[in-house]
Amino acid sequence: MSDAALEEFALRMGDNCLILGQRVSAWCGYAPALEEDIAMANVALDLIGQAKLWLALAGALEGKGRDADALAFLRDARAFRNCLLVEQPNGDYGQTLMRQFLFDAWHVPMLEGLAASREERVAAIAAKTAKEAAYHRDRSADLVIRLGDGGEESRRRMQTALDLLWPFAGELLAADETEARLAGEGVIPDLADIAKKWTAFVEPALEEATLVPPKDAPVRKGGKQGLHTEALGYVLAEMQWLQRAYPGATW
Amino acid sequence: MAEAPTKPSVGDIWRWLEDAPDPEIPVLSVVDLGIVRAVEWRGETLIVTVTPTYSACPATSVIALDVEAMLRRRGIADVKIETRLVPPWTTDWISEKGREKLRAYGIAPPEGAVCAGAAKAAGARIACPRCGSTNTEEISRFGSTPCKASWRCKDCLEPFDYFKSF
């Protein structure tokens, strides 16, 4: 197995968690109810903890002495490997929940598959974090169903969020060359299998939520190769400015 | 060749760790919580292996510092704290004594054993730590720390923390 492919994959896992964690953390102090505020802060915290594990592995594989902090705070947008879905703006609360739901529905089967990886460092992180992802998915699916199958206004907002975000989900579900190679080596699961599990979870939940995915939507991708939407630059500007302005600053 | 007579036994060190509190729930020791996985001497170095509760639990790094400081106060100069992820921590590892301490402190202890893949405590009857009633309901799946959920007692009307089964 090539270390470069594994490093690339660890960056993708870590950057997905980091960017989504940074996005979700922006609700801290602003969520529509106290319980939701606490939930958002906890989900963000879990994701940033998970990002730290993956990015530490990526840094170790790279072997140039970069730790998780260096990778998080000192890379530019083109070096980030997260999917486009997680960098999309928070929008209203419905949009934030829909983004979380589409991501969690992928994250859980992916981590469960990775827990059986032949690469033991990958398996260890996946086994540790899969339970946390499952806890997130229980909540995001529950809220998507309640708000979709809720009042007229909440249903309208959830459908708008689904129309907006659906095209970004495909990137998580299709393997590129790196992932196909790692799957062939037994390091990561086959993404076609993950896509089936994703669909088996998402379809009935959306049906219960009375929401309809857009037909013939294009797949918007590129994040895994470092080609991001405009949105990522704003996330990084906010997340990285302190370390950029005051290099090496600590608490 | 003889070892210094002052080198404490592994059993002594486990007993000391039973007095090392969790920084966020100080009634629990790190041993009650089940996060100390091993204690061993490697030559003159004492290795204490800990496992994190949640990936991002802010208490984990404080725990490592506290344990190291406590062992140094006990006269062990060469201490190394190692972190191990496998097997992942579960609330099943919280000791019986720990569960009783949680209840007395006002936190409902985790209910039932954790089954693989079933994060939902569906149908679980969580007893109110104040009045003991199981006529309770979940307010939020999350709480003031990563390990807790927010619940409410419908008899004594008090809200309480539930240490979620995980």
Q: Which helix (H) or strand (E) holds B140?
A: strand B136-140
Closest to B146 (Cβ–Cβ): which among A42, A52, A134? A42
- How far is it, in rounded angstroms, from Cα B106 to Cα A184? 51
Closest to B119 (Cβ–Cβ): which among A47, A129, A138? A138
pLDDT at B7: 84
Stretches where chain A sits below pLDDT 50 are none
Domain count, chain B: 2
Do B74 and B138 fall into the same domain?
A: no
Q: Nearest to residue A111, comparing CAs of A14, A29, A204, A177?
A: A14
Residue B96: DSSP 8-state: H
User: How far does the CA of residue A122 sit from the closest CA of chain B (Å)?
Assistant: 11
Any B CB within 8 A of A18 CB: no
Provide long-range contacts, Cβ within 8 A and 24+ apart, for A244-249.
A244/A73, A244/A74
pLDDT per residue over B40-57, tens digit each? Answer: 999 999 999 999 999 988
Query: How many contacts, defined by CB atoms under 8 Å, are there between A and B?
Result: 69
pLDDT per residue over A87-142, tens digit each? Answer: 999 999 999 999 999 999 999 999 999 999 999 999 999 999 999 999 999 999 99
Q: Do A131 and B143 touch (CB under 8 A)?
A: no
pLDDT at B123: 57
Chain B hits for A53, Cβ within 8 Å: 55, 85
Interface predicted TM-score of the whole assembly (ipTM), two decimals:
0.85
Q: What percent of chain B has pLDDT over 70?
A: 90
Please report whether residue B2 resides in a domain. no
CA A224 to chain centre: 12
B99 confidence band (pLDDT: 50, 70, 90): very high
pLDDT per residue over A2-17, tens digit each? Answer: 689 999 999 999 999 9
Chain A hits for B141, Cβ within 8 Å: 39, 135, 138-139
Chain A hits for B166, Cβ within 8 Å: 131, 135
User: How far does the CA of residue B5 sit from the closest CA of chain A (Å)?
Assistant: 39
Any B CB within 8 A of A131 CB: yes
pLDDT at A166: 98
Phi, psi of B59 (to 5 degrees): -75, -20
Do B144 and B100 fall into the same domain?
A: yes
Structural domain that includes position B76 = 10-83
Residue of A nearest to B166 (CA): A131
Do B68 and B27 fall into the same domain?
A: yes
Domains of chain A (ranges; CATH) run: 3-245 (1.20.1260.10)
Domain with B65 in it: what CATH number? 3.30.300.130
Please report whether residue B41 resides in a domain. yes
Closest to B142 (Cβ–Cβ): which among A38, A49, A129? A38
